[in-house]
Amino acid sequence: MLQREIDPAQLADIEKFEALLAQYLAGELPEDVFRVFRLNNGIYGQRQGGHNQMVRVKIPYGKLDPDQLDMLAHIAETYSRGWGHITTRQNIQFHFVELERVPTVMRELASVGLTTREACGDTVRNIQGCHLAGACPYEHLDISPWAEATFRHLLRHPFSQRLPRKFKINFSGCETDCGQAMFNDVGVIATTRVRDDGTVEAGFRVYVAGGLGANPHPALALEEFTPREELLPTIEAILRVFEQTGNRKNKLRARLKWVVDQLGWDELKERILATRKYLIASSSWPGGIPAEVAKYGDAPAGLKAGVTPTPLGQGTPVALRGTKPYERWAESNVVRGVAKGTISAYAYARLGDITAAQFRALASIQRELALEVRVTNRQNLVFRGLSEGQLPVLYARLESIGMAQPGAELARDVVACPGADTCNLAVTQSRGLADAIGTALEEAGLAEVGGVRINISGCTNSCGQHHAADIGFMGAERRAHGRSAPGYQMLLGGYVGQEQIYFGERALRLPAKNAPQAAVRVVSRFAEEREAGETFRQWLDRSGGAKAIGAELAELDTFPSPDEAPEFYIDYGETGPYVAEVGESECAT
């Protein structure tokens, strides 16, 4: 593993963390002060309390190199529980890290160019980007260098340090919006416009004030077209207006989406554009083409003549006709069509988990085949820059480490937040339900159904993005026969793509133990009834909507008595009676 010289600013961060940690452990620094500092450095408390910490590593726009993958393996086995977890925001999380060992973890991550700074807290979080950026046949621009430039500009930026609330930025290279820009504080989608002289100019459409959580809001278009030279000033202007107008008295209404309700959209938009206009007077003005874009270029991958590009985006129907495992993997996990003739292929990480051995194997594959690797927002990885001849080799390598299942990003690929396994706010074991649904789909022969996504959150906060999934589950405490029991609200019809977003609609409430059967029944009916090319959302509308589908599942919303079925009163992965324990939220600290 090639270690790099640590950036002086990052080294200063680590030394400050060491110093303040020593003060905290000595009782010289108040808990509330240290908590804010700890969170701003990406270190998050766990449900287990004590000195158990979650370390969140930022992976800007998902890009990883072999040395970084090797380091993640080392962190997993040396400081955590032997594996790491990919989040829906392209971070890697490690749990059960002892607080006293965090500075050492930070130094080792820094030695390969990784940081935890501003991965948590009221900061600008990890800059997300489409995992196929630079390798997508549909993109208008390669957003990779733009995401990199945004990450570098805003890391340690004075306005990023103590915001009213967290602030999320996302990039997509085209209107397919695989980066999911439509539910972020700032969502950037590459686009084009025709100039007066008939030439085509590539630029961006910037969306503002989207969000999920208990009250989801769709992002709103700031203007029809933002030129490339004005993108970073636009992002900084939005950040500055949020810093000035966000609600600092009520954290529950502090996100940018609530500023729309407070000021009105016209007023918010006017303030952003006015701030951008005069930002040139600021010492932090980032106008013009960023150095990262000038150095690496942002030309789109383009289309390869004679090759039909692989359809992409939520709702894309995929037909697996092959009979051999490799054929089925190639049909469902491989993306073709870029002008330079290279290919991308997904590696499937069940529940978003990767063991230390798998991290090392992925690094070895990347070196052997000289490939790029990106983390996806559906908790998988994608290898890019492949030739046709390398595909069988990649498949064999992935198959040997259990990451070659066909259907990555299809029905098999159930996404879940960490849930009550480690999170203070979760009321259910969302990971356990995800595992149970995946198993139920496998047993029913439905795991490889295309065009359907299932997401699960352990509470209302939507870290598992249940609002944006075709089938979403939100954890909730239920009461039955005088007892508490784990339950879920089932939502149907969430969708993000084509610069649109639909939030899932409530179908029915369910006991946790009946949720897998409900998922199987809905996926089965969709697979049987959908017409050629029909998306889940279209099928749902044609079938009467979420309430109609929910009514047909009504008998599943039944709790047998504790004597008849005691398992209904024990959550997945637990051994004792269910208790909805909610701790102090560090999300709102």
Query: Binning pLDDT at 50, 70 and 90, where does residue 512 land?
Result: very high
Per-residue pLDDT of 128-146, as tens digits, reads 999 999 999 999 999 999 9
Length of the chain: 589
Q: How far apart are CA 129 and CA 58, in angstroms?
A: 12
Q: How far apart are CA 150 and CA 173, in angstroms?
A: 15
Give the helix/strand (H/E) hosting 240. helix 231-245
Q: Are the beta carbons of 401 and 361 closer than 8 angstroms?
A: yes
Instruction: Look up residue 211 and give its DSSP letter.
Output: B
Query: Binning pLDDT at 50, 70 and 90, where does residue 587 land?
Result: low
pLDDT at 50: 86
Question: In the β-sheet with 334-335, what is the strand arrangement from edge to edge?
Answer: 63-64, 372-375, 381-386, 343-347, 334-335
Q: Enumerate the CATH 3.30.413.10 domain ranges in the chain, comma separated.
A: 138-296, 415-569
**Token code pair at residue 299:** 């030309």
Furthest-apart CA atoms within the chain: distance in Å: 77
Q: Are the beta carbons of 454 and 467 closer than 8 angstroms?
A: no
% the chain with pLDDT above 70: 98
Computed over every residue of the chain, the mean pLDDT equals 95
473-480: list long-range contacts, CB under 8 Å, 24+ apart. 473/430, 473/433, 473/515, 473/519, 475/419, 475/420, 475/426, 475/427, 475/428, 475/430, 475/512, 476/427, 476/428, 476/509, 477/427, 477/580, 478/509, 478/511, 478/559, 480/511, 480/559, 480/568, 480/569
With tokens 């029809």, the residue in question is: 224
pLDDT at 588: 45
Q: Enumerate the CATH 3.90.480.10 domain ranges in the chain, comma separated.
A: 325-400
Q: What angle do CA 430, 436, 442 make, to 5 degrees?
A: 140
Nearest Cα neighbor of 120 from 207, 57, 52 is 57
**Token code pair at residue 201:** 């100019």
% the chain with pLDDT above 90: 92
Residue 400 three-state SS: helix
Decide yes or no: CATH 3.90.1150.10 for domain 415-569.
no
72: left (phi over 0), alpha (psi -120 to 50) or beta: alpha
**Token code pair at residue 407:** 């259907």
Q: How far apart are CA 95 and CA 110, in angstroms?
A: 19
For 389, residues 6+ apart whose C-beta sits below 8 A from its C-beta are: none
> Structure pTM?
0.96
**Is the pLDDT assigned to residue 560 strictly greater than 80?**
yes
H helices of 41-172, in order, are 66-79, 102-110, 144-154
Strand-pair partners of 14: none
**Is the pLDDT assigned to residue 2 strictly greater than 70?**
no
Per-residue pLDDT of 415-460, as tens digits, reads 999 999 999 889 999 999 999 999 999 999 999 898 999 999 999 9
Q: How far apart are CA 286 and CA 375, in angstroms?
A: 27
Residue 122, amino acid: D
3-state helix, strand, coil in the chain (%, to 5): 40, 20, 40
204: left (phi over 0), alpha (psi -120 to 50) or beta: beta
**Token code pair at residue 380:** 């998988």
Tell me whether strands 63-64 and 83-86 are parallel, antiparallel or unpaired: unpaired
**Token code pair at residue 155:** 């890391």
How far the first Cα of the chain sits from its last, in Å, is 37
pLDDT at 411: 83
The mean-pLDDT minimum among 12-26, 229-243, 402-416, 517-531 falls in: 402-416
Per-residue pLDDT of 232-245, as tens digits, reads 999 999 999 999 99
Strand-pair partners of 167: 124
The mean pLDDT value for 12-41 works out to 97
Q: Which CATH number fits domain 8-110: 3.30.413.10, 3.90.480.20, 3.50.20.10, 3.40.30.10?
A: 3.90.480.20
pLDDT at 580: 84
CATH superfamily for 138-296 is: Sulfite Reductase Hemoprotein, domain 1 (3.30.413.10)
Q: How far apart are CA 48 and CA 25, in angstroms?
A: 18
The mean pLDDT value for 464-488 works out to 97
Higher pLDDT, 334 or 588: 334
Q: How far apart are CA 172 and CA 206, in angstroms?
A: 10
pLDDT at 229: 97
pLDDT at 589: 38
Q: How far apart are CA 180 and CA 469, in angstroms?
A: 12
Question: In the β-sheet with 83-86, what is the strand arrangement from edge to edge?
Answer: 43-45, 52-58, 91-98, 83-86, 353-355
Supply φ then ψ for residue 399, to 5 degrees: -65, -35
Q: How far apart are CA 423 and CA 580, in angstroms?
A: 12
Nearest Cα neighbor of 73 from 350, 349, 361, 380 is 361
CATH superfamily for 325-400 is: Sulfite Reductase Hemoprotein;Domain 2 (3.90.480.10)
Per-residue pLDDT of 354-382, as tens digits, reads 999 999 999 999 999 999 999 999 999 99
Strand-pair partners of 126: none
For 315, residues 6+ apart whose C-beta sits below 8 A from its C-beta are: 451, 470, 495, 497, 535, 536, 537
Q: How far apart are CA 388 and CA 341, in angstroms?
A: 9
Per-residue pLDDT of 171-228, as tens digits, reads 999 999 999 999 999 999 999 999 999 999 999 999 999 999 999 999 999 999 999 9
Residue 43, amino acid: I
